[in-house]
Amino acid sequence: MADVDQGSSPPSDGAPQALDPPNAIDTNGTDVVNATVAKFVATPEGTALAYGSLVFMALLPIFFGALRSVSCSKSKNSSDMPETITSRDAARFPIIASCTLFGLYLFFKIFSQEYINLLLSIYFFVLGILALSHTMSPFMNRFFPDNLAIKQYQLLFTQGSGESKEEIVNYEFDTKDLVCLAISSVVGVWYVLKKHWVANNLFGLAFALNGVELLHLNNVSTGCILLGGLFVYDVFWVFGTNVMVTVAKSFEAPIKLVFPQDLLERGLEASNFAMLGLGDVVIPGIFIALLLRFDVSLKKNTRTYFYTSFLAYIFGLGLTIFVMHMYKHAQPALLYLVPACVGFPVLVALVKGELTEMFRYEEASPELEASQKDETTEMDKKDK
């Protein structure tokens, strides 16, 4: 799981990493500090600015992604339809993540890091462009001139013919989406050529927002299984082995948010970064988004559980940073985020007498709803 890191390595050097103590240069989480390299010591102002900015950037995709998740399930566009996570998926996810992490570890040990990261750069270049374009699309409506003609396009792939025809891809887009794609492509080229931390953050925020928006937990129990499993996963791979930090040092991809602690001294060319992995944003974020949809289902015009879990996330992330500074030791962020994001809403539900209702709340996947609708239509035809 991706955590917070503090060190002097450039943003392209890390992926999921642990939260390291201040001014530690060796990002593998060890106690060794190379005194010849550790020329820069972060000032209190620089450290506060860096971590404050990371917290703010983490909150943006959670808040807006949760709001967009409420309406995205109603979309008929295949690109906007959410992917529903079931309890079986949640139980398998930590195992799959562990196998993937260890597989990457072996790859970096056996093959050249340069060629692996070249493939990863191409892969995330394409994904980043699509994610950023999808993120920008709703905001483009406010800035696109009204006097310009907007043309509609549709990308449709089907399988079979006649009554057995089945849609594989049904993607609708317009001129505004093409403009977003062009702007995103510029950011993508900037990231590939320069690996600049601003471009990294643009892609990272887009990945996080799309993840919170499009990954839907089907119920609260599934959320508890997923967060509980990744809680164990995060603690084990950070404290129990050096696998995660080894991959983190070798992995070049925009799967973390970064902010320089020496920004005040060096401006945009700063290189001493604090980092927050996207896993610590998306995983709690999809649970917070689920609670917002549960709030909407109650039809009480309140967002009690959403705001409770949102504030709990801020508390958990702040506690992670505080413990790291207190004990000067790497900390897996989910160790603090999971109990906070699950515990506080459950406690509120218990006090309000809505605990049973919370755990009974269920969301059906769009595919299941579509199949049920088709079955109902066929039965109506037979009855007639």
Q: Which residues are catalytic?
A: 234, 280
Largest interatomic CA distance in the chain: 84
Tell me if 65 sits within 8 A of 209, measured CB to CB. Answer: yes
Tokens found for residue 115: 């060629």
Cβ neighbours, 10 Å, residue 356: 10
Q: Which residues contact 326 (CB under 8 A, 6 or more apart)?
A: none
Q: Which residues contact 370 (CB under 8 A, 6 or more apart)?
A: none
3-state secondary structure of 377: helix
Tell me if 230 sits within 8 A of 97, measured CB to CB. Answer: yes
3-state secondary structure of 297: helix
E strands along 194-267, which residues? Answer: 215-217, 256-260
Tell me if 217 sits within 8 A of 282, measured CB to CB. Answer: no
Tell me if 330 sits within 8 A of 277, measured CB to CB. Answer: no
State which amino acid sits at residue 103.
G
The DSSP code for 303 is -
DSSP collapsed to 3 states, 315-340: HHHHHHHHHHHHHCCCECCHHHHHHH
Q: Work out the end-to-end distance of the chain between its first and last CA atoms, rounded to an integer number of angstroms.
A: 55
Tell me if 128 sits within 8 A of 188, measured CB to CB. Answer: yes
Tell me if 214 sits within 8 A of 75, measured CB to CB. Answer: no
The DSSP code for 278 is T
Q: Which residues contact 173 (CB under 8 A, 6 or more apart)?
A: 152, 153, 154, 155
Say how far apart CA 216 and CA 75 lie, in whole Å: 14
